[in-house]
């Protein structure tokens, strides 16, 4: 036995020596390859430099970067370059609301600027993440704000009449969650004393009776010429006479009000008054632009994405098509003059606000370049309009939609349906479409769907309950679209699940919301005969969507032809399943994509904690980087020196409404040295 063991040991030692020699040879070959080709594969020091001076990458909201250092061939080598932690996070235990870190930083004059969910503004070194300054307007975090603690970003402005280096010649404009417009010196973060009252303007003045915590600003202003323009976010299901949804232009130097535009006209001298019943127009509020605005500096245009008039789900107190609500509105930025509007939903009863930033770009047709505005919607419809007139550049059809069974309601009989690009989501969902992990939960979903009224998209709310597909979350939400002008691509991420809503007669409302089996959100809709009960997701008893996957997807469209180039799932259920399973069913998502000249689409948004890169040509996922918290934000990218790195930066702080991992991280990725 001993001799046999010695033979075996000798054989093992022999083969072990052979294996070591082989591994050494492989190592030498790999090192040689890395030495010969490593710099070309991993990091190219050539290519352009570029900043990211506005929330959408540029004033037009294209979310496009000309940077080429990171490509489909080397993106797999991306690694974390630096991490900055803000400290601004709430899980709802200390403060009434959870945080949603939705900000996209801007890179302006060599500094990275962003806002936190606590409405602080922070300036960082863009290559190290080290803090240069921060400013805290000290909002009341104990206030019960209408949704979550959230802010999407800031705006930069240079005063052409100021002297280089003087205080506030370069400014950061920001609007707080408690509705104050701030002007800060870009170099120091100190308030600009000549702007408003010691650096701030109270936006709650002049919009009617304000309920604290219900009138907010969550998206960045737009500065154009010498005017800074800002919208508002509102809890618009509280009552009919909520705050007016005014979009206002203020003098960028002094903070003086220059003009205001009311999406719901409240006086005869306001545009659109003739489209409303006078007694209703005088009291109805909202129609506000809560999503990011965009602009066309050369044409002195600002583009507004407006939401529903109040309240969302009953329109008997706002009869008619409700112009200029649910519209893309083009104003003269210097004066507030209305130039055109295009309504994407008539008489909205589904909370189908325009939630995405309009994107100004061009389409090519018959050898000509035509100025255009692209508007993504919650319905999965993409409208492409002429930038100067608002006329559709692809066919749009007005089609009949279901009527209402609710007393007092008057549904607008048709809705606009783009023919091209084609609808990006199915427009009909039936009980036969019910989905589940098992026959049991699939059956429960089918029962839920059968109990709800449904005749296809735009089925109005009912007393028995109505299935809403696409969901009131979308389709597209505030992430918007990205446009690659070289590859002629429009890229958008979408949700693909259903929700439900029901109206409750006023005398039954209190009992309904106190019932032991009550579920979803209840809102009073004061001033109407009905309260409202809704849930943004139609799910099984296991909290799994009742609609078939993918529940989130990323789509690329040929912007000149209106055809779909590719369509892929976005996200896995790894971080939302009871056990981590990287199944590519897509997930609900909030945040948007960016595109680069290097041939990549970067997007977070999904409910697993990753930033992803997709090949622009094929839609193939070519990289994903793990985040320390949910990436429900739009990334950005920049390169500030000819010998420097291209950074890709995303806010990783999660979303209180989606229940993704909460945090306070700003994470930068780059190729290694």
DSSP for residue 327: E
Strand order from edge to edge, sheet including 368-376: 359-365, 368-376, 382-386
Strand order from edge to edge, sheet including 610-615: 64-65, 593-596, 600-603, 610-615, 621-626
CB atoms under 10 Å from CB of 280, counted, come to 18
Joined tokens for residue 258: 């220059």
Joined tokens for residue 17: 């020596």
Report H helices in 418-526. Answer: 439-450, 509-514
Instruction: Please tell me which residue in 236, 351, 353, 575 is annotated as part of the active site.
Output: 351
Cα separations (Å) of 519 from 34, 404, 459, 598? 59, 24, 21, 47
Within 13 Å of residue 584, how many CA atoms lie on the same side as its CB?
7
DSSP for residue 199: T
Question: How many Å apart are CA 124 and CA 110, to the nearest integer?
Answer: 9
Within 13 Å of residue 178, how many CA atoms lie on the same side as its CB?
14
Strand order from edge to edge, sheet including 111-115: 106-108, 111-115, 121-124, 131-135
DSSP for residue 138: -
Instruction: Please say if 251 is a catalytic residue.
Output: no
Closest by CA position to 401, among listed 362, 352, 360: 352
Question: How many Å apart are CA 340 and CA 328, to the nearest integer?
Answer: 8
Joined tokens for residue 574: 């790894």
Give the catalytic positions in this structure: 351
């Amino acid at each position: 036995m001993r001799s046999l063991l010695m033979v075996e040991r000798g054989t093992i030692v022999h083969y072990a020596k052979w294996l070591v020699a082989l591994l050494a040879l492989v190592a030498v070959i790999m090192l040689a390859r890395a030495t010969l080709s490593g710099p070309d594969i991993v990091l190219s020091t050539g290519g352009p430099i570029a900043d990211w001076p506005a929330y959408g990458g540029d004033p037009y909201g294209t979310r496009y970067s000309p940077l080429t250092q990171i490509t489909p061939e080397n993106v797999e080598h991306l690694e974390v370059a630096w991490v900055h932690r803000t400290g601004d996070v709430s899980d709802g235990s200390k403060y009434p609301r959870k945080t949603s870190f939705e900000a996209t930083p801007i890179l302006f004059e060599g500094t990275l600027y962003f806002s936190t969910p606590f409405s602080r503004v922070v300036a960082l070194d863009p290559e190290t993440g080290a803090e240069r300054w921060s400013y805290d307007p000290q909002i009341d975090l104990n206030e019960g704000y209408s949704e979550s603690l959230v802010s999407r970003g800031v705006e930069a402005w240079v005063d052409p009449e100021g002297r280089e280096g003087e205080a506030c010649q370069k400014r950061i404009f920001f609007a707080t969650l408690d509705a104050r417009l701030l002007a800060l010196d870009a170099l120091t973060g100190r308030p600009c004393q000549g702007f408003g009252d010691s650096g701030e303007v109270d936006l709650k003045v002049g919009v009617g009776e304000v309920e604290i915590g219900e009138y907010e600003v969550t998206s960045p202003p737009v500065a154009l010429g010498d005017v800074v323009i800002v919208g508002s976010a509102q809890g618009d299901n509280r009552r009919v006479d909520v705050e007016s949804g005014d979009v206002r232009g203020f003098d960028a130097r002094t903070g003086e009000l220059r003009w205001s535009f009311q999406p719901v006209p409240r006086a005869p001298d306001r545009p659109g008054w003739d489209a409303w019943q006078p007694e209703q127009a005088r009291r109805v509020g909202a129609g506000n632009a809560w999503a990011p605005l965009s602009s066309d500096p050369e044409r002195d245009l600002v583009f507004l994405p407006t939401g529903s008039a109040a309240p969302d789900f009953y329109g008997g107190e706002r009869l008619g098509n409700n112009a200029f609500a649910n519209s893309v509105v083009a104003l003269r930025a210097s004066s507030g003059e209305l130039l055109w509007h295009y309504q994407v939903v008539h008489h909205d009863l589904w909370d189908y606000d325009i939630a995405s930033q309009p994107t100004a770009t061009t389409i090519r047709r018959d050898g000509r370049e035509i100025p255009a505005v692209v508007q993504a919607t919650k319905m999965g419809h993409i409208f492409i309009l002429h930038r100067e007139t608002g006329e559709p550049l692809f066919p749009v059809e007005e089609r009949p939609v279901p009527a209402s069974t609710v007393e007092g309601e008057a549904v607008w009989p048709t809705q606009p349906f783009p023919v091209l690009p084609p609808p990006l989501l199915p427009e009909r969902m039936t009980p036969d479409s019910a989905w589940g992990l098992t026959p049991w939960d699939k059956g429960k979903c089918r029962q839920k769907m059968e109990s709800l009224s449904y005749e296809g998209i735009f089925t109005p709310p009912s007393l028995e309950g109505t299935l809403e597909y696409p969901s009131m979350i979308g389709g597209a939400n505030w992430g918007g679209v990205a446009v690659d002008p070289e590859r002629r691509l429009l890229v958008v991420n979408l949700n693909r699940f259903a929700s439900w809503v029901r109206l409750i007669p006023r005398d039954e409302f209190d009992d309904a919301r106190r019932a032991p089996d009550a579920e979803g959100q209840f809102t009073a809709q004061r001033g109407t005969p009905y309260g409202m009960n809704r849930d943004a997701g139609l799910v099984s008893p296991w909290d799994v969507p009742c609609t078939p996957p993918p529940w989130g997807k990323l789509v690329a469209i040929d912007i000149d032809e209106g055809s779909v180039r590719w369509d892929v799932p976005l996200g896995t259920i790894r971080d939302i399943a009871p056990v981590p399973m990287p199944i590519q069913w897509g997930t609900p998502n909030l945040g948007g994509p960016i595109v680069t000249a290097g041939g990549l689409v970067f997007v977070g948004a999904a409910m697993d904690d990753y930033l992803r890169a997709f090949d622009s040509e094929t839609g193939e996922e070519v990289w994903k980087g793990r985040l320390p918290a949910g990436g429900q934000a739009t990334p950005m990218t920049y390169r500030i020196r000819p010998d420097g790195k291209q950074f890709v930066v995303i806010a990783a702080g999660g979303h209180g409404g989606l229940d993704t991992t909460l945090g306070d991280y700003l994470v930068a990725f780059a190729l290694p040295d």
